Amino acid sequence: MPIRARSLNRAAMAAATLAALLIGGTLARAAELRVLATGATKSLITSLAADFKIKTGHVVTLQTDTAGGVAKRIEGGEGFDVAIATKGVIDALIAKGKLAPGTAADIASTSIGVAVKEGAAKPDISTVEAFKRTMLAAATIAYVDPASGGTSGIYISGVLDRLGLSEALKPKLRLKAGGYVAELVANGEAEIAIHQISEILPVKGVVLIGELPKEIQSVTTYTAGLPKDTSEAAQAFRSYVTGPDARATIEKTGMKAP
């Protein structure tokens, strides 16, 4: 074999060996991260975790709850590597010493929308008055049970009260303690769902008809935070979900990057 050919062959073998060592080293150091997150970020974090595993070998186990539920679990001593909740919840957990100072980083934000069953008529929610008429005309309305600590449920309950609709709508309400509220519309338990847009879009069989009118709209920012005894893998995941590589995935899930 010519000298040049032998040199190229050795170089190729060396490159292949180095690649194998790097891959082996990554896998040997692979960690399993336990992430506690709000339901509004479930679809987003699931997608980002899959990409993160491909890039790093680290595996993410995701547990979801309402924002209030995430706070209670952390305050109750439940173990975790990364916490993702509303900005207010993360800031409060840092203030209480449950998360490390300086680790909060905004991931994305989402607004509240209204959904109906696929194929159903799309009611008018373009103005506050139109929204009120639609709510009064609906047979059943679903949103997150405020008692479960769900951010959107607490907010929507307050909006209906301010609009003077609470008493009239009480018999129509179908409250869900977390999870995808739009599933109640998909399976016929409710006619209309009001929920975070990022939690409406993943549900099959329903259609997002639009956002709440701006006068009664609420935009929620979701933030990541880390425990005091954080690991390099956890720091890497927080950096990934808040970094530029996550932007396209954030937009696909109906959320907006910071």
Angle at 234 between CA 257 and CA 71, to 5 degrees: 75
The pLDDT confidence band at residue 90, using thresholds 50, 70 and 90, is: very high
For residue 161, name the pLDDT band (cuts at 50, 70, 90): very high
Tokens of 100: 């490390």
Please report where in the chains the tokens 């009118």 appear, as a residue: 213
The confidence band for 5, taking pLDDT boundaries of 50, 70 and 90, is: very low
Domains along the sequence of the chain with CATH: 31-109+221-252 (3.40.190.10), 112-216 (3.40.190.10)
Nearest to 73 by CA among 227, 222, 213: 227
Residue linked to tokens 């032998």 = 6
pLDDT value at position 30?
Answer: 84
Cα–Cα dist 100/94, whole Å: 6
Q: How many CA atoms lie within 13 A of 236 on its CB side?
A: 17
Q: What's the pTM value of the predicted model, to 2 decimals?
A: 0.78
pLDDT band at 196 (very low <50, low <70, confident <90, very high): very high
Lowest mean pLDDT among 17-21, 59-63, 234-238: 17-21
pLDDT at 23: 45
Q: What is the mean pLDDT of residues 154-168?
A: 97
How far is the CA of 30 from the CAs of 25, 49, 63, 234, in angstroms?
Answer: 9, 13, 20, 11
